[in-house]
Amino acid sequence: MADIKGLTPRGFGHQLRALVWSYQGFKIAFQTESSFRTESYLTVILGPLAFVLGRTPVECALLFGTLLLLLLTELLNSAIEKVVDQISPDYAEFAGHAKDMGSAAVLMAIINLIVIWAAVLWSRFAT
Protein backbone atom coordinates (compact mmCIF):
# COMPACT_ATOMS: atom_id res chain seq x y z
CA MET A 1 0.00 0.00 0.00
CA ALA A 2 1.31 3.45 -0.87
CA ASP A 3 2.87 5.53 1.88
CA ILE A 4 1.55 8.83 3.19
CA LYS A 5 2.70 11.81 1.13
CA GLY A 6 6.13 12.95 2.20
CA LEU A 7 7.12 9.61 3.68
CA THR A 8 7.62 7.81 0.40
CA PRO A 9 11.26 6.95 -0.30
CA ARG A 10 12.84 8.44 -3.39
CA GLY A 11 15.01 6.88 -6.08
CA PHE A 12 15.71 3.17 -5.99
CA GLY A 13 13.90 2.73 -2.67
CA HIS A 14 10.73 4.08 -4.23
CA GLN A 15 11.08 1.78 -7.23
CA LEU A 16 11.56 -1.21 -4.95
CA ARG A 17 8.49 -0.33 -2.89
CA ALA A 18 6.44 0.20 -6.05
CA LEU A 19 7.45 -3.27 -7.19
CA VAL A 20 6.30 -4.73 -3.86
CA TRP A 21 2.97 -2.90 -4.09
CA SER A 22 2.50 -4.16 -7.65
CA TYR A 23 3.19 -7.72 -6.53
CA GLN A 24 0.63 -7.29 -3.74
CA GLY A 25 -1.91 -6.09 -6.30
CA PHE A 26 -1.35 -9.14 -8.50
CA LYS A 27 -1.55 -11.43 -5.48
CA ILE A 28 -4.81 -9.91 -4.23
CA ALA A 29 -6.37 -10.02 -7.70
CA PHE A 30 -5.34 -13.64 -8.19
CA GLN A 31 -6.66 -14.66 -4.76
CA THR A 32 -9.97 -12.80 -4.91
CA GLU A 33 -10.99 -12.44 -8.56
CA SER A 34 -11.97 -15.57 -10.48
CA SER A 35 -12.00 -13.65 -13.77
CA PHE A 36 -8.42 -12.52 -13.22
CA ARG A 37 -7.37 -16.10 -12.45
CA THR A 38 -9.07 -17.38 -15.61
CA GLU A 39 -7.46 -14.68 -17.75
CA SER A 40 -4.08 -15.36 -16.12
CA TYR A 41 -4.34 -19.04 -17.04
CA LEU A 42 -5.33 -18.01 -20.57
CA THR A 43 -2.21 -15.84 -20.73
CA VAL A 44 0.00 -18.70 -19.54
CA ILE A 45 -1.41 -20.90 -22.32
CA LEU A 46 -1.67 -18.38 -25.16
CA GLY A 47 1.39 -16.30 -24.26
CA PRO A 48 3.94 -18.78 -25.61
CA LEU A 49 1.68 -19.44 -28.62
CA ALA A 50 1.85 -15.75 -29.47
CA PHE A 51 5.56 -16.16 -30.16
CA VAL A 52 5.05 -19.39 -32.09
CA LEU A 53 2.17 -18.19 -34.25
CA GLY A 54 3.40 -14.68 -34.96
CA ARG A 55 5.47 -14.55 -38.14
CA THR A 56 7.05 -11.21 -37.37
CA PRO A 57 8.06 -9.45 -34.17
CA VAL A 58 5.12 -7.09 -34.70
CA GLU A 59 2.64 -9.96 -34.92
CA CYS A 60 4.13 -11.55 -31.80
CA ALA A 61 3.87 -8.24 -29.95
CA LEU A 62 0.27 -7.73 -31.10
CA LEU A 63 -0.78 -11.20 -29.99
CA PHE A 64 0.97 -10.98 -26.63
CA GLY A 65 -0.14 -7.38 -26.17
CA THR A 66 -3.80 -8.37 -26.37
CA LEU A 67 -3.25 -10.71 -23.42
CA LEU A 68 -1.52 -8.01 -21.39
CA LEU A 69 -4.29 -5.54 -22.24
CA LEU A 70 -6.91 -8.01 -21.03
CA LEU A 71 -5.10 -8.51 -17.71
CA LEU A 72 -4.61 -4.77 -17.30
CA THR A 73 -8.28 -4.07 -17.98
CA GLU A 74 -9.38 -6.79 -15.57
CA LEU A 75 -7.14 -5.35 -12.84
CA LEU A 76 -8.64 -1.88 -13.34
CA ASN A 77 -12.18 -3.28 -13.40
CA SER A 78 -11.56 -5.20 -10.18
CA ALA A 79 -10.14 -2.08 -8.54
CA ILE A 80 -13.19 -0.07 -9.61
CA GLU A 81 -15.51 -2.73 -8.18
CA LYS A 82 -13.68 -2.86 -4.84
CA VAL A 83 -13.69 0.93 -4.44
CA VAL A 84 -17.36 1.21 -5.44
CA ASP A 85 -18.35 -1.56 -3.03
CA GLN A 86 -16.48 0.21 -0.22
CA ILE A 87 -17.93 3.64 -0.96
CA SER A 88 -21.46 2.50 -1.70
CA PRO A 89 -22.34 -0.77 0.09
CA ASP A 90 -26.05 -0.17 -0.57
CA TYR A 91 -27.49 -0.04 -4.07
CA ALA A 92 -26.79 3.21 -5.85
CA GLU A 93 -27.37 3.86 -9.52
CA PHE A 94 -24.00 5.59 -9.99
CA ALA A 95 -22.27 2.58 -8.42
CA GLY A 96 -23.97 0.25 -10.86
CA HIS A 97 -22.99 2.51 -13.75
CA ALA A 98 -19.33 2.52 -12.68
CA LYS A 99 -19.29 -1.27 -12.41
CA ASP A 100 -21.05 -1.67 -15.76
CA MET A 101 -18.54 0.61 -17.47
CA GLY A 102 -15.64 -1.34 -15.99
CA SER A 103 -17.21 -4.55 -17.22
CA ALA A 104 -17.71 -3.02 -20.66
CA ALA A 105 -14.00 -2.16 -20.76
CA VAL A 106 -13.14 -5.81 -20.10
CA LEU A 107 -15.55 -6.86 -22.86
CA MET A 108 -13.81 -4.47 -25.27
CA ALA A 109 -10.43 -5.97 -24.36
CA ILE A 110 -11.83 -9.47 -25.02
CA ILE A 111 -13.23 -8.39 -28.39
CA ASN A 112 -9.88 -6.79 -29.23
CA LEU A 113 -8.11 -10.06 -28.34
CA ILE A 114 -10.47 -12.15 -30.47
CA VAL A 115 -10.24 -9.84 -33.50
CA ILE A 116 -6.44 -9.61 -33.47
CA TRP A 117 -5.87 -13.33 -32.83
CA ALA A 118 -8.39 -14.20 -35.57
CA ALA A 119 -6.73 -11.82 -38.05
CA VAL A 120 -3.25 -13.18 -37.37
CA LEU A 121 -4.42 -16.80 -37.48
CA TRP A 122 -6.36 -16.14 -40.67
CA SER A 123 -3.35 -14.57 -42.37
CA ARG A 124 -1.14 -17.44 -41.21
CA PHE A 125 -3.32 -20.43 -42.08
CA ALA A 126 -5.91 -19.27 -44.64
CA THR A 127 -3.53 -17.75 -47.18
Res 40: pLDDT: 98
Q: What count of Cα atoms within 13 Å lies in the side-chain half-sphere of residue 57?
A: 0
Res 23: pLDDT: 96
Instruction: Please state the rounded mean pLDDT for residues 108-127.
Output: 96
Res 104: pLDDT: 98
Asked whether the beta carbons of 79 and 103 are under 8 A apart, the reply is: no
- Which CATH number is 33-125 given? 1.10.287.3610
d(CA 46, CA 90): 39
**Residues with active-site annotation:** 74
Res 12: pLDDT: 83
Tell me the backbone φ, ψ of residue 37, rounded to 5 degrees: -60, -45
Asked whether the beta carbons of 37 and 30 are under 8 A apart, the reply is: yes
User: Residue 9: left (phi > 0), alpha (psi -120 to 50), or beta?
Assistant: beta
Does pLDDT of 111 surpass 80?
A: yes
Q: Which residues contact 86 (CB under 8 A, 6 or more apart)?
A: none
pLDDT tens digits, residue range 42-68? 999 999 999 999 999 999 999 999 999
d(CA 22, CA 82): 16
pLDDT tens digits, residue range 1-37? 555 566 666 788 888 899 999 999 999 999 999 999 9
Res 14: pLDDT: 85
